[in-house]
Structure 1
Amino acid sequence: MDSFEDEEESDDVPEWTTHVMATLAAEVRRRRKERGMSAQELADACSAIGHPIPRNVIANMESGRRSVLPLVDVIVLAEALGTHPALLIYPLGHVSEVQRLPLQHPTATWDAMSWFTGESGFGLDAALVRAFRAKGRQESAAFNAWNDMRSHHDAARRATDPARREEAERDADQAIKRLKAAAASLRTTRSRIQRILGPTVSVPPGLETLTADIPDGKDSI
């Protein structure tokens, strides 16, 4: 009785490869039309990137006549469509459920994307992905602060009014503080990555080139 019930339940599970390809094909077609591109124009864009995907391959994929698409094609199609490969596989906001793995019932697309990108889960791999994302945020904050610092210093040099010069210098000091904070945070993240990967593996570079521009010359972080 139990085996019969298990068999009935498995019959309700979609065929995984068909589901994945159908989701991918529909999202490629949606994004292509959203950008006003024909299948030939998308093929031309892929060729311009350096990895030709013929128009008939794109057309057959979108119509369901092609059941397999290499990962390299997914990567290039995403670039040609101005999106990320993961969003072709898990179209957030456009598909409510996807089948994450074979023999599994569909789950929320947001949950599947969280698994795919390493946002959820446990262990060192998930910790590494989270550290990688933190690294990106910290680098972005540092570059923004660096640009602000340079801009405010330029404004201070150009200012003829003492009050405006003083204001620009204060703003520059605040930008320097943000730059130092971002560099310090990145230093912590780099240490975390080193602990995860081990002492023999290279880690992302720090922000020495940015902090070297701090006027007092004493802050190489």
Structure 2
Amino acid sequence: MTQHGSDDEDEDNVPEWADHVMATVANEVRRRRKEIGWSAQELSDRCELLGHPIPRNVIANMESGRRANLPLVDVIVLAEALWTNPICLIYPVGYVPEVQRLPLQERIPPWEALLWFSAQDDAGLDDHEMLHRQRQHISALSEAESAMAGEGYAKYAVETEKDPVRRADAQRAHAAFAERVSQAKESLREARSYISSHGGILPYLPPELADIDPPDTDEEDDI
């Protein structure tokens, strides 16, 4: 485990940490490859099909610890080839007891490192709010589309149902879906307002939700 010490000791710890990270990825690549039942050549073939060839000997050298470096692009393609996510190769939750997040730090459970890497921890970094708003947008958009579909079905039931009891049920359902649509739209407006005002790129909105954004006033401003 890496400990704090003199400057010379600290310099020695940096390659030790890099070796630890590479070994963790290499071990997880080997574990998943064997779990699938592939040879190193079969994994290499799969990487080539994905458009980023990684020769068999490179994979073998990585798994045995003889490879001196491990490019990020290789990690990304290896993860896709092995039907997993890159972060699961770097921090294999459930398969290692601990990892070292950074040099000169104590080792921690891989789940904690994974949360840090994916910006889901409580560190309060500058980009966290933008990430939060993007997640809010994704969630609100899904809710809006779901509620709008339900509202449409309920409206049809109100218009076509002959039985008074079932018609009343449909009316209540329609009102409930309409409220969900309204709340989801408000959440979308809030997220998009923050993203836009902080220089972010606004995510796509389907045409049926075009009323979320304020009208374009550029032409009026030019007059």
TM over 0.5: yes
* CA-CA distance at 1:13 after TM superposition: 8.4
1:49-198 correspondence to structure 2 within 5 Å: 49-120=50-121, 121-149=123-151, 167=169, 170-197=172-199
Q: Distance in 2 between matches of 1:62 and 1:159?
A: 65
Q: Distance in 2 between matches of 1:33 and 1:169?
A: 57
- Partner-residue secondary structure (3-state), 1:187: helix
Q: Distance in 1 between matches of 2:148 and 2:83?
A: 28
Instruction: Provide closer, same or farther for how the CA distance between residues 144 and 167 of structure 1 changes in structure 2, counting only shifts above 3 A.
Output: same
Partner of 1:202: 201
Q: What's the RMSD between the two structures over aligned residues?
A: 3.2
Q: Is the 8 A contact 2:195 2:201 kept in 1?
A: no
Moved more, 55-64 or 9-18: 9-18
Among the aligned pairs, what percent are the same residue? 50
Q: Distance in 1 between matches of 2:156 and 2:128?
A: 43
Q: Distance in 2 between matches of 1:41 and 1:86?
A: 22
Q: Distance in 1 between matches of 2:46 and 2:181?
A: 39
Q: Distance in 2 between matches of 1:33 and 1:159?
A: 58
Which string of whole-angstrom CA distances, capped at 9 and with x for unpartnered residues, describes residues 7-32 of structure 1? Answer: 49857888111100111111222223
Q: Distance in 2 between matches of 1:107 and 1:130?
A: 25
- Partner-residue secondary structure (3-state), 2:105: coil
Q: Is the 8 A contact 1:119 1:129 kept in 2?
A: no
* CA-CA distance at 1:112 after TM superposition: 1.6
- Gapped regions of structure 1 (runs ≥ 5): 213-219
1:9-28 correspondence to structure 2 within 5 Å: 15-28=16-29
- Partner-residue secondary structure (3-state), 2:198: helix
Q: Distance in 1 between matches of 2:153 and 2:56?
A: 48
Q: Is the 8 A contact 1:149 1:176 kept in 2?
A: yes
